[in-house]
Every structure is written in structure tokens, then in C-alpha cells.
A = this chain, B = another copy of it.
């Protein structure tokens, strides 16, 4: 029944109701109606001040592979999921529509039209699950990671959370953390797949394996050189540091402390290292850090943070809460109208207004059916073309582009928007 291996097609990363809706709409002819679908978030999670768009690069790759091949069709047919007419339609399926979206690294706010999909209903309805899986996961991680980067205030952040999340999401999480400004990842596959710098030295197991700490340190230094990071908290930290400098010399690259009150321990370690002449030896701390503990360590002599669980799980908000909604049918705006979870009909785009100083003031969401509101010299349109003529647009932004975009966007956020405390979005969303 199963090989456990991932499929090369992404077409079945789809909720069954998308295929039953397709089938019914092929039956009554509405599958061909021109539609507009929109991805947006009703709220930012947990009183956050901004969200960060991430995952678009991965999504484009996944959309390329969204084809119903023999294996997928055979399974749908055997399971009686859809009828013959639908199977034959799926066999020829190629997404012929257009996609515009906020690029990776762009900020988003409640109601931002993060993605707009224009396509016949049958083509657009199939993409809901895949689009949301990628954007909700990656944006959740990037949104949390960006707050950690702000909290670290220029110090280095190492993502080391692979072990705390599904093995494939680990890669996407590392990628999103890097987009948000993390410096490196522990995950080798992430390095291979996305070209992100990888780092890693040793665990407590390596010290425990050896007859004593000095032997373990010597062994590591022989392979990784004096610039390496020695983990000093397996037994007694002060003795660990003493041994580390004795064995490596004062040119030792760094020590890592992974447990205890890392603020106090970092101060003691700094004093001890300085006394031992290892004034250039850096201090890396890790162990259940999140944006709050990183901020709390600002006054301590810490050079880098290793962050695991909190970044890969979105620090309390593991999904970004984005939805994929039908907003327009053959030029007519449509919207759900019963109580709760209402939406605004009609295809939309957005621009962000800024003061002459560069500070953002508001997100303006406007109907694409009308004129584009006037753009001031410091304002900019937020959506970019992503998919045209059956494929991704050329010169799509790279991961590095997204990293730079976010760096600049965060500079534009009003200062209250960069605080870690809960509150209103950093700028209001205005519907024109």
C-alpha cells in the first residue's frame, strides 16, 4: 500500500472536497466560470504586530509539480473519488490562470490580499490546500523568527529545531528562519536543498562518550580546529571552561552553554574567559530560547543564540491562519454572509503608504475593478506577478532577495510595531 516515500507529484496534497466540487461543477458547467480566489488572514495570531509572508518560492515549485499522473489517477479511480469525466479532465490539468502575490519577506496585516488567483473555478479550487499548507506553515515560522531577529538586535541566530518538527517541515522551517534573518541552520538537507549555511559542532553525547572532558575537547579540536565551539556544560561549567581554554588555548572560537540560567552563566563565563586570556572566545547559548528570553538576554555577554522548538513551531502560533476564499465569479463580487467569518467580495490589490521618513502608515486594500489609488512618492504596490502563461514568471525573487526585503520592511515599521508585547497591528488596514 505504501512505500513511505514522498510522491513526485503534489496533486494529492489536496482535500477531497476540492475534487468533489470540481466534479459537481464539471457536471453543471460552472467549472468554467472565471473566478478570483484570495488568500488573506483575518487576524494576526496572539496579538502580534505584523506577519511575514514566506513560502512562495516553495509554493511555485510545488505548483509546477501539481499534475495528475497515472499513479494519482489510478488511485482516484480505484477509490471511486471522482467520476470518469473528472478523471479525464484531471489527466489534462494544467493551471492556466494567473497568480499575483506579496513576495517573500513582505509584511502582511489583517486583510492583506496576500495572494490573488484568477482562474476558471475548476482550476483554482484545486489549489486551496496546497497553497495554504505552504503559506500557513512557512509564514508562521518566518513571522516568529523575525521577532527573534529583532530581539537579538544584531547578534547571530542559529536555527537548530529540526528535531522538534516533522522532518520535511524542518527544511521549510529552516528556510523561513533564514528568510527572516537567522544566520545558519543545523539541518544538512536544508543546506543541500536551499544553499543555507549549516553549522554544528557537538552534543553532550560526545563528551560522555569519552573518558573525560579534556579528551573529548582534544578530539573535537583535532578535527574542527581551534575556531570550533566547545560545549562546556556536560559536568561543571567553570571546570568545563577551564579545560576548554587549557586544551584549545586562548584562541578558542567559542563555548556553548545549553542549560541552566544562561544569563547568569554567560556573565560568569565571560569573566572567566577574560581572566584566562580568551577575550576573543565567543559565547553561544541555547536551550528552549524564544523571542522573550532572547530579548531578556540583551544585556548579557552573549554572542549567538541557538534556537530550536520555538522557531520551528512558530512560537505559540504554528499556523498563520491564512484562508483561501472565492471572492469573485465572472466579475461579480461574492462573499459569505452568515454570522461570523465574513469576507469581503471582489478581487483586490494593496499598497502601503509611508511617510517621507520611510515609516509605514497604512495598508490600503482596493478593488482591482476600480482605479488604483494615487501612489505617493514613498508608497508602493504590494502584489507582484507570480504565475503567467502556464508557469512561474521569470526573474522571481530569490531567497536572498526576500531576506533583504524583510530587513528593509522592518525598518519601515513604526517603533511600537517592533515591540514583543501583544497589541494592535503595527499599521491599520484600510479598505478603499
Contact = CB atoms under 8 A, between A and B. Distances in A.
Interface of A: 1-8, 10, 12-21, 23-25, 27-28, 30, 33, 35, 37, 58, 61-62, 64-65, 72, 75-76, 79, 81, 83, 121, 125, 128-130, 132-134, 136-138, 160, 162-170, 172, 186-189, 191-195, 198-206, 208-210, 215, 219-220, 222-224, 233-237, 240, 258-260, 287, 309, 312-314, 318-319, 321, 324-326, 329, 334-341
11 contacts: A5-B8, A7-B193, A15-B187, A15-B200, A20-B200, A24-B219, A24-B220, A28-B222, A129-B170, A137-B167, A165-B169
B209 A121 contact: yes
A3, A75, A189, A237 pick with most chain B CB within 10 angstroms: A189
Nearest to A235: B337
B166 A16 contact: no
A223 B20 contact: yes
A196 B37 CA distance: 30
Nearest to A72: B192
A329 B208 contact: yes
Contacts of A16: 186-188, 191, 198-200
Contacts of A309: 319, 321
A329 B16 CA distance: 50
Contact of A25 (B136, B206, B337): B206
Given A167-B13, A170-B133, A192-B75, A336 B234 contact: yes
A374 B16 CA distance: 51
B195 A1 contact: yes
Contact of A259 (B2, B3, B209, B338): B338
Given A15-B188, A160-B15, A204-B336, A195 B2 contact: yes
Given A18-B200, A188-B15, A58 B4 contact: yes
Contacts of A210: 28, 30
Q: Give the 9 A-B residue pairs with the shortest CB-CB distance, closest first.
A: A4-B61, A16-B200, A17-B200, A166-B169, A132-B163, A168-B168, A12-B189, A205-B326, A6-B6
Given A134-B167, A137-B165, A318 B313 contact: yes
A201 B121 CA distance: 16
Nearest to A340: B259
A13 B169 CA distance: 11
Contacts of A338: 233-237, 240, 259-260
A68 to B, nearest CB: 11
A201 B4 contact: no
A165 B313 CA distance: 10
A187 B72 CA distance: 13
A237 B129 CA distance: 26
A17 to B, nearest CB: 3
Given A3-B61, A329-B209, A341 B259 contact: yes
A119 to B, nearest CB: 12
